Structure 1
Amino acid sequence: MSPRVSPVRAAAAAVALCGLLAGCAGTSASGNGPDSGDNRFISGNGNITEYKPADRKSVQDVGGERLDGERFTLAELKGKVVVVNFWASWCAPCRGEAPSLQQVYDENKAKGVEFLGVNFKDSKANAQAFERKFKVTYPSLFDDGGQVTLAFREVPPSAIPSTLVLDRQGRVAARIIGATTYSKLNPLVAKVLAGT
Structure 2
Amino acid sequence: MSACRANRRNRNRRHTTVAAIGAALSALALSACGSGGSSGGGGETQFVQGKGGVDVVKDKGSRQDAPELSGKTLQDEELNATEKFKGKVIVFNVWGSWCAPCRAEAKGLGKVAREYKDKGVEFVGLNTRDPNPAPAKAFEKQFDVPYPSLFDSAGKLMLRFPKGSLNPQAIPSTIFIDREGKIAARAIRPVTEDELRKTLDPLVAEK
TM-score normalized with structure 2 length? 0.72
Aligned partners of 1:144 and 1:46: how far apart in 2?
29
Tell me, in whole angstroms, the C-alpha distance in 1 between the residues paired with 2:67 and 2:79: 11
* From 30, 53, 63, the counterpart of 1:47: 53
Number of residue-to-residue matches in the alignment: 160
1:113 aligns with 2:121: yes
> Equivalent residue for 2:194?
183
Provide the rounded CA distance (Å) in 1 between the counterparts of 2:95 and 2:52. Answer: 14
Paired residue type of 1:191: P
Residue segments in structure 1 that go unaligned for 5+ positions in a row: 1-33
Amino acid at match of 1:127: A
2:188 maps to 1:172: no
Q: Hey, what does 1:6 align to over in structure 2?
A: none
Please say if residues 58 and 170 of structure 1, whose CA atoms lie closer than 8 Å, have aligned partners that are also in contact.
yes
Consecutive unaligned residues in structure 2, runs of 5 or more: 1-26, 35-50
Larger Rg: 2
SS state at 2:54 partner: strand
| Secondary structure in 2 matching 1:147 | coil
Q: How far did 1:39 drift?
A: 5.2
Bigger drift between 97-106 and 145-154 goes to: 145-154
In structure 2, distance between residues paired with 1:62 and 1:129 = 23
In structure 2, C-alpha distance between the alignment counterparts of 1:67 and 1:59, rounded to whole Å: 22
CA contact under 8 A between 1:46 and 1:179: conserved in structure 2?
no
Q: Give me the whole-angstrom Cα distance separating, in 2, the residues matched to 1:90 and 1:152.
A: 23
Residue pair 2:67, 2:160 contacting (<8 A) in 1 also: no
Q: In the alignment, which residue of structure 2 is the partner of 1:141? A: 150
Please state how far the C-alpha of 1:65 moved relative to its aligned partner: 1.1
CA deviation string 1:130-164 (max 9, x = no partner)? 00000001000000121111112343211000101
Q: Which amino acid aligns with 2:116?
A: N
The answer to whether 1:95 aligns with 2:106 is no
After superposition, the CA RMSD in angstroms is: 2.1
**What SS does structure 2 have at the residue aligned with 1:118?**
strand
Counterparts of 1:76-87 in structure 2, within 5 Å, are 76-87=84-95
Matched, 1:68 2:68: no
How far apart, CA to CA, are the structure 1 residues paired with 2:162 and 2:138? 29
CA-CA distance at 1:102 after TM superposition: 0.6
Alpha-carbon separation, structure 1, partners of 2:192 and 2:147 = 17
Query: Structure 1 stretch 72-81 or stretch 101-110: which is displaced more?
Result: 72-81
Give the Cα separation in 2 of the matches to 1:75 and 1:164.
17
Residue in 2 aligned with 1:5? none
State the 1:75 CA deviation. 2.1
3-state SS of 1:119 partner: strand
- Using the size of structure 1 for normalisation, the TM-score is 0.76
Cα pair 1:116 1:141 within 8 Å, conserved: yes
Find the aligned partners of 1:90 and 1:105 in 2 and give their Cα distance. Answer: 22
